[in-house]
Structure 1
């Protein structure tokens, strides 16, 4: 799938014919970010929807004492910022690039016009929001009911479904996260997450490769994630 096809697969385009899709993409602004570059901060007024063409974007929030919580990692074909259409106001999360990224930006007025012309688009946007909310609710439940190794296993499996690549030994996941970012995603300390990963590696379930990991035993990881 080429880069433009990745963008066109986003829920925003679900009810459009080919000419309408390409016309809308042509009206969007292309945004390029380097790794670590901030797209927007929590609290900023939000009036843009974004679709990722390349790279990875992290969504997170910060506490008053400076601690950070990483809520989601999004990749090619995924979109964010649509909440501003249904609930205008300050951004509830910050967004920054985990790796060099390319996005397409659609301003609020243009998005409203699309919704008015094609009301069915709203259904697809709400479905995308509901899926993200469901994942957030699952993550919150995991914080209460799952131990750290279980959450690490589940995070690796989730990342593998979107960023994994089949290799001879299993699935290689180039997550591009630092140890601190992975810990934030799991909701635990870096030391505890590293201990869990070291245990998985010792058992032969994974092999660590810098900002990537090879999942060697999916069955064991799935059982540990339950």
Structure 2
């Protein structure tokens, strides 16, 4: 039932249908509600996860109690696999953003599977490289792009992955609170809210509860540069 979604994950992308089905059958399903934690920063990294439905956010904490939101992941995306290639404690905490279904696979079982299907390891490394590229872009944005530009870029990224085309524009149910959206762009909630209000005043978007409708993506793209 959820196979078309799961097949998007790097773990499955190189597999034929029969092999993919066998791997899915060997994985453990999980159902979690908003606010629950998949794993915490510092926990042993002993398994990876594929999102079937819902959203997960990965965040890192600081010594003074603040958090930095690293990424928001949705259906067909994978997380937790870094521990397979670099054994050690988790580097982030995985929070459930909206009611979520996951399937997980322990590292021991995954290593055995990769021994039989080495081509999958290349797909997984490609997925990690893509995530690293996005992280590097985010670090550059913090240095070279102002807050409104970062907000515009974050909204466009969320729309690419979670957006739905409507008569009015691109409806994006991101499920993030104002504080979480601010953490995602590395700014204060007040500054981010000011940028969103300005975009709304210009007619580029309309704001909703944990959602937004992008009315003028061309202007948002120009502002994100």
* Aligned pairs (5 A) from 1:63-102: 63-102=62-101
Q: Once the two structures are superposed, what CA deviation does each residue of 1:196-220 show, in whole Å capped at 9, x if it has no partner?
A: 0000000000100111000000010
Instruction: List structure 1 runs of 4+ shifted beyond 2 angstroms.
Output: none
1:174 is matched with which residue?
173
Structure 2 Cα separation of the partners of residues 114 and 170 of structure 1: 43
Which runs of 5 or more residues in structure 1 are unaligned?
none
Residue 3 of structure 1: how far off its partner (Å): 2.2
Matches within 5 A, 1:32-181: 32-181=31-180
Gaps spanning 5+ residues in structure 2: where? none
- With 164-173 and 11-20 compared, the bigger mean Cα shift is at 11-20
Number of residues of Structure 1 aligned to a counterpart in Structure 2: 225
Q: TM-score, normalised by structure 2?
A: 0.99
How far the C-alpha of 1:18 sits from its partner, in A, is 1.1
Pairing 1:187-198 to 2, within 5 Å after superposition = 187-198=186-197
SS at match of 1:176: coil
Aligned partners of 1:14 and 1:165: how far apart in 2?
24
2:201 aligned with 1:202, yes or no? Answer: yes
What is residue 225 of structure 1 aligned with on the other side? Answer: 224
TM-score after normalising by structure 1: 0.98
Q: Deviations over 1:164-191 (max 9, x none)?
A: 0001011000000000000000100000
SS at match of 2:128: helix
SS in 1 for 2:49: strand
Could you report, residue by residue, the CA deviation over 1:40-94 in whole angstroms, capped at 9, with x for unpaired residues?
1001111101000000000010000000000100000000111111001100011
